[in-house]
Amino acid sequence: MLFFNLSAFYFFYFAAVGVYIIFMPKVLHDIGYSAFDIGIIFALAPLMRFLTPFLFLKHIKLDQTVFKTALFSSIACSLMFYLTLENFYALMVNNAILGVSLSLILPYLEVTAIKELGKDRYGKSRLFGSIGFMLISLVLAKFLSEPKVALHYYLAVNILTVVFALLLMQRNDAIKKEEVSNVPFSFFKYWPFWASLFFMQMSFGGFYNFFTIYETQHGISLEMTSYLWSFGVVCEILMLYFQAPILKNNLLTIIKFCLAITVVRWLMLYAYPDSLTITFISQSIHAFSFGLYHSAVIIYLYSLYENKKLAQQFMYGVAYGLGGFIGALIAGYLYGEYLFVYSAVFALISFICFYFIKNPTHQSVE
């Protein structure tokens, strides 16, 4: 039952992410928001994801009460979209609160997933998130006849996310008997690790925000580009399913390999932007540069810190929050022929950072 509830949680959580990332910008564009306004609004969530963990260093503990508050706040924000959608400032506030809520939900349950499922089953549960993300992109594209349709979908999948999160809390003894660590969190103790996370996500700024534009400008059709996106997700899903034996090896070595092959991936996109074969090969590397990399990083991070929930918060905050935020801004500024050369440079810096990491005594994750 734990595996089912976690898998369902991942499915609906990332389906909601899909609605938010893929369709909400289009909704705002269709009702008259400028590109600059949309950029500001959608920069708030990753920024809040970065800032929120700092509140938990001394002042707040990520316990069941805070987690439940975050869950119900996410539903409240989903409902408030209906009221704030056409008011720029109200929408900004709503999006900021949503960013805070989302920065708490996933890290809280990721710790449980790693602890209870271990290396062998974590990926097989997490892959349902990728499936949810892909399916919502295919389904909603066919039914997005008016802006509020996206709001209906977002509210529905968000409610289902909360339902399965609450079921996990109710039925899982590990969560019921949780102990919140009082060990001080040293953010700078493993600074090369955090720097590496930051630069790796910076390297994805060009890909997440400009891959479609980049490929279509080099003669790849929009329809084929959508297939390229889907192919990358399929490769990610396959890796998450079959990665367990790989994760039994040295995690640092795995992460270094994922970083190195990501450098190659970005250089391939730079050198052969109009080659469909090379672009498909580069997309297949998503299995390593996201699927395997993500699993190896969170399991490695689990072994570093006593305060595991706060460590997961910072992982999402530093990487997907600050790294994603600055990566998107820099990609917009640098967009052009050499976009993916810069991406490769950021990934290379991330790779180099790992050579400054001292090998501490790890807590094993079976």
Tell me, yes or no, whether 165 and 221 share the same domain. no
**Residue 226 pLDDT:** 80
Identify the band that residue 156 occupies on the pLDDT scale cut at 50, 70 and 90.
Answer: very high
Structural domain including 168 reads: 2-176
Give residue-wise pLDDT tens across range 11-50.
Answer: 999 999 888 887 788 788 888 888 778 878 877 888 888 8
**Can you tell me which residue has the tokens 């734990």?**
2
Does the pLDDT value for residue 218 go beyond 80? Answer: yes
Tell me, yes or no, whether 311 and 335 share the same domain. yes
Tell me, yes or no, whether 149 and 233 share the same domain. no
**38 domain residue, yes or no:** yes
Please give the single-letter amino acid code of residue 184. Answer: P
**Residue 184 pLDDT:** 65
Q: What is the mean pLDDT of the chain?
A: 86
Identify the band that residue 178 occupies on the pLDDT scale cut at 50, 70 and 90.
Answer: low
Which residues have CB under 8 Å from 32's CB, separation 6+?
none
**366 domain residue, yes or no:** no
Please give the single-letter amino acid code of residue 91. Answer: L
Q: Choose one of 148, 176, 204: the last residue of a domain.
A: 176
Tell me, yes or no, whether 206 and 80 share the same domain. no
Q: Which comes out higher in pLDDT, residue 249 or 184?
A: 249
**363 domain residue, yes or no:** no
Tokens of 175: 């969560």
- HSE-up (13 A, CA, CB side) for residue 258: 28
| Secondary structure of residue 179 in the 3-state scheme | coil
Report the pLDDT averaged over residues 233-246.
92
Report the pLDDT averaged over residues 282-297.
94
Q: Choose one of 146, 176, 206: the last residue of a domain.
A: 176
Q: Answer whether 231's CB lies under 8 Å from 284's CB.
A: yes
Tokens of 83: 């009221």
Identify the band that residue 64 occupies on the pLDDT scale cut at 50, 70 and 90.
Answer: confident
Q: Which comes out higher in pLDDT, residue 107 or 265?
A: 265
Instruction: Give DSSP secondary structure letters for 273-317.
Output: TT-HHHHHHHHHTHIIIIIIHHHHHHHHHHHH-SSHHHHHHHHII
**347 domain residue, yes or no:** yes
Give residue-wise pLDDT tens across range 111-139.
Answer: 778 888 887 788 889 899 989 988 887 78
**87 domain residue, yes or no:** yes
Tell me, yes or no, whether 273 and 124 share the same domain. no
Identify the band that residue 366 occupies on the pLDDT scale cut at 50, 70 and 90.
Answer: low
Structure pTM? 0.80
Tell me, yes or no, whether 201 and 172 share the same domain. no
**CA-closest candidate to residue 206, choices 25, 296, 39, 341:** 341
Q: How many domains does the chain have?
A: 2
C-alpha to C-alpha distance for 97 and 19, rounded to whole angstroms: 18
Query: Which pairs from 181-188 meet CB under 8 Å and 24+ separation?
Result: 181/306, 181/307, 181/308, 181/309, 181/310, 183/305, 183/306, 183/307, 185/57, 185/305, 185/307, 185/310, 185/311, 185/314, 187/57, 187/314
Tell me, yes or no, whether 307 and 218 share the same domain. yes
Angle at CA 39, nearest 5°, toward 38 and 45?
100
Identify the band that residue 318 occupies on the pLDDT scale cut at 50, 70 and 90.
Answer: confident
Does the pLDDT value for residue 360 go beyond 60? Answer: no
Tell me, yes or no, whether 83 and 37 share the same domain. yes
**160 domain residue, yes or no:** yes
Does the pLDDT value for residue 287 go beyond 90? Answer: yes
